[in-house]
């Protein structure tokens, strides 16, 4: 599998995870109870944002590592490298 395909898959997984985390925390922050107003303080919002970014990176690295172990890049021989 070419490296660029691994990178595309890893970035896509990271974006999907970040979207899912943001939707989850938006549902928690908004809540289902219309009588209560739920607000996030500065620290809570910062932790959620930082956590979403970290989960994004972790998911991207995990997918890239899994794909690289499952589909390793074949090395070219030295003769082929010299001709290029």
Mean pLDDT across the chain: 77
- Number of Cβ within a 10 Å radius of residue 53: 13
List all residues 6 or more positions away from 55 whose beta carbon is below 8 Å from its beta carbon. Answer: 17, 18, 21
> Tell me: the pLDDT tens digits for 39-49?
667 787 788 77
For the whole model, what pTM was predicted? Answer: 0.61
CA dist list (Å): 52 to 33, 40, 60, 76, 84? 25, 15, 12, 39, 43
Q: What is the mean pLDDT of residues 6-15?
A: 86
Lookup: tokens for 44: 């809570």
* pLDDT band at 11; cut points 50, 70, 90: confident
Where exactly are the structural domains of the chain? 3-83
């Amino acid at each position: 599998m070419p490296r660029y395909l691994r990178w595309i898959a890893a970035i896509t997984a990271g974006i999907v995870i970040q979207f899912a985390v943001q939707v989850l925390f938006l549902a928690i922050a908004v809540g289902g109870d219309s009588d209560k107003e739920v607000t996030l303080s500065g620290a809570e919002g910062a932790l959620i944002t930082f956590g979403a970014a970290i989960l994004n990176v972790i998911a991207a690295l995990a997918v890239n590592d899994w794909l690289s172990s499952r589909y390793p890049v074949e090395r070219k021989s030295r003769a082929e490298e010299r001709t290029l």
